[in-house]
A and B are shown apart, each in its own frame.
Chain A
Amino acid sequence: MNQKKQNKEKKYSFWGDTWKRLKRNRLAMFGLFIIGLLVFCAIFADLIAPYDYATQDLMNAYQGPSLQHWFGTDEFGRDILSRVIYGTRISLQIGFIAVGISLIFGGFLGAVAGYYGGKLDNFIMRVMDIIMSIPSILLAISIVAALGSSMTNLMIATGISYIPSYARIVRASILGIKDQEFIEAAKAVGTSDWTIIIRHILPNCLAPIIVQATLGVAFAILTAAGLSFIGLGIAPPTPEWGSMLSTGRNYIRDYWHMTLFPGLAIALTIFALNVLGDGLRDALDPKLRG
């Protein structure tokens, strides 16, 4: 009688399954909603922002939140709301591109190390260990200091400092999967090494990588904000949450709104990414798969 219903249920693929379980997690869905909102802000910043982010209005400097300026204005009278909205663009860009860099390089190195093993593995992982032994913020500082401070360099610096953690995760997942029989089965029909890695191994270790990447975007945004805070990141007047925070710090006693709103924006983004990452981890966990 419910044969039909059952057939329909069976059609869920792996991703359909994951999505179904993710939807059940309210907090994760909230995170996803916030991320969606931020991406929307980033894309349509020109349309949403009430003012231009760079227009100075010295007459109205240091104003607290009001109807004209919801988040108030900064020391040059620029609208903080608009700057926060435009800042989304920069921060998300930094976050995603930096994670992209570490994911591509870390993933590649980890895949090679895990799949081929032996001396190559040893060499790659020892290099990674060396990088890991340097605190990531220090590493990023020295890279930016060496390359000069610009947005591209900021992304490169953050990206490089997170390469080892991706390399480790990818390597560990590959080690877990490479001895399974289906890999041997693929070899038995004559599949080449690269096809095996790309088609058979990587899709099966996506889960931990996706989770790490989601959390990684949060880390990258924080690192970039930190670098901007100490003056090694984005040059003014480009609005970046970290540099806004850093300027605001000087006036925090009298004009709290200058630090509060960019700070809130960072906190909210990190929070959203973290709950989404946690939710994804649970949704992707094969043990919970029914």
Chain B
Amino acid sequence: MEHTSNEKLLDIRDLSVEYHSNGKIVKAVSNLNLSLKKGETLGFVGETGAGKTTTALSILRILPELPSRITSGEIWFNGENLLLKSKKEMQQIRGKEISMIFQDPMTSLDPVATVGKQIEEMIGLHEKLPKKELREKAAQMLEQVGIKRERIDDYPHQFSGGMKQRVVIAMALSCNPNLLIADEPTTALNVTIQAQVLELMKNLKRQYQMSMIMITHDLGIVAEICDSVAIMYAGNIVEYGTVERVYENFCHPYTEALFDSIPSLDEDQEELKVIAGLTPDPTNLPSGCPFHPRCPYAGPECAQQAPEVRETEPGHIVRCHKDLKGGSGNE
């Protein structure tokens, strides 16, 4: 397919990332393809070690340099390949064009600086403004995320967990980024606070018209906030499509397993449907389709050949030899 990059904000092509640990090579991400439209929110779902965070860190090029390496691929952002940028150019992009929110708000704020200072610093990195204006802008950002501007001179420890995450969001949005990457932004929060923060993010996303990648393990959060969803397993996307299509008509056995594993709130189940086994050891991935040892539908071809992606319906992509919904689906 030919894509013009002007309608796409982000286009990842054939990305592979490896880690080296104890002389072994860990394939964290292998040949990943993904694109994101302007204003779109994409959910990134998968278990621990599936490569969600690694992919996100590769986009920002903040992978720890020594043990990890991007071995192949291109990351096109706004028509430019980020992997060819110099360090200095990347620093300009980080925070200004692409921002990231991390899981733990407790550790992503500097405990010895006031929240106002931290937001000002973030803005100051990318915009040369007089001090007064910086402060005013920081105060506006706080108000945006529902924190009173009087609290601008407070230190992070004076805020609760949910409030801290709001400050982090304010920092991330302070330079009007085109893309926001949120890595499990609500996992460390209580459910009622999580609901608040999600609501806030939904509103801000609309207001700022930015694109967002939401990394999470919670399919419920994806349903709430995302337009499309990518399910990751062992370093690759196994299913991708709009949230409606994937949730109502999933085609990959792993996606099915994920949905089956969540206890339902509507009906009573004696036993949950469970897939056996564990996420594979990334230093020693199974041959063929990495999911085949756990897959209830696996056939002989699954062990031999890695499946190619195919489109089951427009915009709904699956990486599987089998067609869960009946019919033959090779290639």
Contact = CB atoms under 8 A, between A and B. Distances in A.
Direct touch of chains A and B (CB < 8 A): yes
Q: How large is the interface on A (under 10, 10 to 19, 20 to 34, 35 or more residues)?
A: under 10
B192 to A, nearest CB: 26
A12 to B, nearest CB: 11
Interface in B14-51: 21-22
A290 B22 contact: yes
A6 B284 contact: yes
Contacts of B21: 290
Interface string A1-42: 010001000000000000000000000000000000000000
Contacts of B22: 290
Nearest to B284: A6
A180 B21 CA distance: 27
A290 B67 CA distance: 12
Contacts of B284: 2, 6
A9 to B, nearest CB: 9
A6 B281 CA distance: 12
A5 B284 CA distance: 12
A6 B23 CA distance: 13
A290 B22 CA distance: 6
Contacts of A6: 284
Nearest to B22: A290
Contacts of A2: 284
Nearest to B24: A290
A4 to B, nearest CB: 13
Nearest to A20: B22
Interface string B279-294: 0000010000000000
A74 B148 CA distance: 82
B26 to A, nearest CB: 11
A148 to B, nearest CB: 54
A290 B284 CA distance: 16
Nearest to B23: A290
Nearest to A9: B22
B28 to A, nearest CB: 15
A19 B51 CA distance: 32
Interface of A: 2, 6, 290
4 contacts: A2-B284, A6-B284, A290-B21, A290-B22
Q: 4 smallest A-B Cβ distances: which pairs?
A: A290-B22, A290-B21, A6-B284, A2-B284
